[in-house]
Amino acid sequence: MAKQPSTAARDRVRTVAPKLVEYTEKVLFGDVWERPGLSKRDRSLITVATLVATYRPEQLRGHLQRALINGVTKDELIELITHLAFYAGWPTAMSAASIAKEVFEEG
């Protein structure tokens, strides 16, 4: 099983924007991610795809970790990244694949 996603990004922001972190923890992860309309696995696939496509590498790392915890396989994540290369751009996909490799090696 993959290790829990890091809270380092939230911890860095907590002192300067505590309310933003509170909303992240209570609303985003406490409410939105817990809604019954989609599984956490599906939410992870959607979130990772969005972060890859919009080139958000800082958030991608934690959401790749979370996706593994939520049951998305490494092969599925790489397939997602490869698929998005044709829609979001080759450099974006290559960067995402590099981040995924690091996450997989850490896990």
pLDDT for position 107: 74
Confidence of residue 49 (pLDDT cuts 50, 70, 90): very high
d(CA 93, CA 54): 10
Confidence of residue 6 (pLDDT cuts 50, 70, 90): low
Confidence of residue 68 (pLDDT cuts 50, 70, 90): very high
In this structure, which long-range contacts are made by residues 98-105, counting pairs with CB atoms below 8 Å and at least 24 apart in sequence? 99/57, 99/60, 99/61, 99/64, 100/64, 100/74, 102/61, 103/61, 103/64, 103/65, 103/68, 104/74
Structural domains present in the chain = 7-37 (no CATH), 38-107 (1.20.1290.10)
Is 80 exceeded by the pLDDT of residue 4? no
d(CA 38, CA 92): 27
d(CA 18, CA 12): 10
Is 90 exceeded by the pLDDT of residue 2? no
Is 60 exceeded by the pLDDT of residue 48? yes
Burial class (CB in 10 A: 0-12, 13-18, 19+), 72: buried
Confidence of residue 8 (pLDDT cuts 50, 70, 90): confident
